[in-house]
């Protein structure tokens, strides 16, 4: 029991979740273990991986971002409108991509500035931002999807592949590598961990706490814009209600991957694998015929379980 406890303290529940998923779903549905399905899971999880990595940055800095879903929706509407300006499809796609990333960056800067300057709880700030941004997305779109995007957009960024690897998967891997380098190899990364561990101690040590928070939330917004670009390509239209469940799912993925809710601890790889585990769980439930309502119950339980695991790892109780 002590050995199991030590293993649990080091890696958390994620490896056990993978083992249970493969054992249960693999025994119930042979297709679950097929190469085609594993590739499908890798592709489908790419979007949540990117948002979970974005969420990881602010959680490590002892914050949250509940506005990631609304930010994705607004970015989707903005990029769709920009792509409909006409002209060369390549130019329209580039313009839409720039618009998507700019929207995410702007929302992130607003969040970071309010959190850093007013010192209001990130939960309250991003909850307010989520509501306002979602309202803007609905107003710009009149609550309706925007169709007519260039065919090359979907064909390249949703269905395309490079060396046999789907483009969304490549994007997720590149984002994971970039976040890993940022957190482990840069001064900003060390500052993010320091602020998350203790803002007061970080300030005394000379860390620019406010600037670090603003940059961190801005980077989270930028990555959210990247996810919005890829998700819009996947659905083929600007969607005002896109990614509504991503705020909680991204937090659950990060926590399942070992990112501490209290801040100051976590890795990019862990968060990415946490996102993959959630998509793997959903995929397995789809294959064995579990209904959508029951899936909501299971995913909600996983979210609570992730929070409990995080608390137990912090306190050492097991």
Q: With a cut of 50, which residues of the chain have pLDDT below it?
A: 1, 3-5, 7, 318
Q: What's the pLDDT score for residue 4? A: 46
Q: How many domains does the chain have?
A: 1
| HSE-up of residue 203 (Cα within 13 Å, Cβ side) | 8
Q: What's the pLDDT score for residue 295? A: 85
Sign of torsion over alpha carbons 79, 84, 85, 90: positive
- DSSP states of 122-135 as a string? HHHHHHHHHHHHHH
Q: What's the pLDDT score for residue 29? A: 87
Tell me if 139 is assigned to some domain: yes
Tell me if 7 is assigned to some domain: no
Interval 153-188: pLDDT, tens: 999 999 999 988 999 999 999 999 999 999 999 999
Tell me if 16 is assigned to some domain: no
Tell me if 298 is assigned to some domain: yes
Tell me if 252 is assigned to some domain: yes
- CATH number for 53: 1.10.3470
Interval 235-284: pLDDT, tens: 999 999 998 889 989 998 998 888 988 889 999 999 999 999 999 999 99
**pTM to 2 decimal places:** 0.92
- DSSP states of 260-300 as a string? -TTSS---HHHHHHHHHHHHHHHHHHHHTT--HHHHHHHHH
Range(s) of the domain holding residue 103: 44-315
Tell me if 224 is assigned to some domain: yes
- Return the structure tokens found at 211: 């600037």
Using an 8 Å Cβ cutoff, are 239 and 85 in contact? no
Round to the nearest angstrom and report the end-to-end CA distance of the chain: 9
Q: What's the pLDDT score for residue 310? A: 65
DSSP alpha helix (H) spans, the chain? 2-11, 14-28, 35-60, 68-83, 89-118, 122-141, 151-157, 167-185, 187-197, 199-204, 209-235, 246-256, 268-287, 292-315
Tell me if 21 is assigned to some domain: no
């Amino acid at each position: 029991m002590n050995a199991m406890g030590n293993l649990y303290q080091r890696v958390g529940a994620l490896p056990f979740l993978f083992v249970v998923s493969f054992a249960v779903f693999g025994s119930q549905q042979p297709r679950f273990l097929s190469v085609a399905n594993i590739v499908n899971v890798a592709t489908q999880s790419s979007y949540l991986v990117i948002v979970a990595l974005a969420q990881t940055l602010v959680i490590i800095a002892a914050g949250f971002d509940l506005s990631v879903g609304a930010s994705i929706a607004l970015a989707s509407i903005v990029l769709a409108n920009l792509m409909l300006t006409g002209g060369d499809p390549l130019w329209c796609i580039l313009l839409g991509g720039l618009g998507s990333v700019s929207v995410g960056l702007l929302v992130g800067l607003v969040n970071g500035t309010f959190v850093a300057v007013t010192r209001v709880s990130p939960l309250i700030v991003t909850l307010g931002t989520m509501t306002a941004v979602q309202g803007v997305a609905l107003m710009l779109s009149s609550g309706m999807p925007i169709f007519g995007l260039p065919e090359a957009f979907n064909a390249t960024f949703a269905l395309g592949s490079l060396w046999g690897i789907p483009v969304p998967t490549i994007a997720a891997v590149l984002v994971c590598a970039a976040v890993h380098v940022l957190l482990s190899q840069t001064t900003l990364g060390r500052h993010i961990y320091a602020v998350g561990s203790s803002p007061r101690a970080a300030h005394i040590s000379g860390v620019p706490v406010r600037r670090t928070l603003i940059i961190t939330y801005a980077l989270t917004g930028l990555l959210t814009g990247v996810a919005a670009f890829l998700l819009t390509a996947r659905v083929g239209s600007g969607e005002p209600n896109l990614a509504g469940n991503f705020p909680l799912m991204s937090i659950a993925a990060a926590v399942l991957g070992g990112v501490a809710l209290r801040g100051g601890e976590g890795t990019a790889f862990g968060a990415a694998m946490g996102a993959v585990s959630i998509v793997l769980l959903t995929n397995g439930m789809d294959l064995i015929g579990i209904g959508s309502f029951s899936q909501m119950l299971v995913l909600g339980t996983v979210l609570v379980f992730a929070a409990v695991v995080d608390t137990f790892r912090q306190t050492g109780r097991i």
